[in-house]
Amino acid sequence: MNTKLLSFLLLASMCLVKCDHLILGDPNNKQLIYHIVAEYSAYPFLKRTKDVFYSNPEQRIISTILAYDNLQSKATATVTAGGVGYSFVNIRMDSERGKGLEYDIGIYS
């Protein structure tokens, strides 16, 4: 089997099994411009949703966004506006039903 195809299938299968972090851009040699730990406690039978809004007052362009799921759950983080290449970003996080939410978010320029 072609090695490129095999490595692609292996990477795709790993992402299907566990993709709970949001990583956009490359954080190497970048300056951290914003950091927050976004968390919500669990409610039985309900999904928790939290939005994080960031706007850079100096109009610096965002080069990297890292959002790590500290609980290693099946929660999701999605950029809903702005992001890499913009000076602002909106990140929406949704928890599993009946579970809490805790994301460590770093924005780099």
Read off the pLDDT of residues 66-100 as tens digits, 9 standing for 90 and up: 999 998 888 999 999 999 999 999 999 999 999 98
Cα Rg of the chain, angstroms: 16
Report the C-alpha gap between 72 and 39 in whole angstroms. Answer: 13
Report the C-alpha gap between 95 and 103 in whole angstroms. Answer: 10
Report the C-alpha gap between 48 and 101 in whole angstroms. Answer: 7
Two tokens, residue 90: 């909106």
The pLDDT tens digits of the residues spanning 21-56 come to 888 888 788 899 999 998 888 889 999 899 999 998
Cβ–Cβ < 8 Å for 102, 28: no
Quote the DSSP letter at residue 7: H
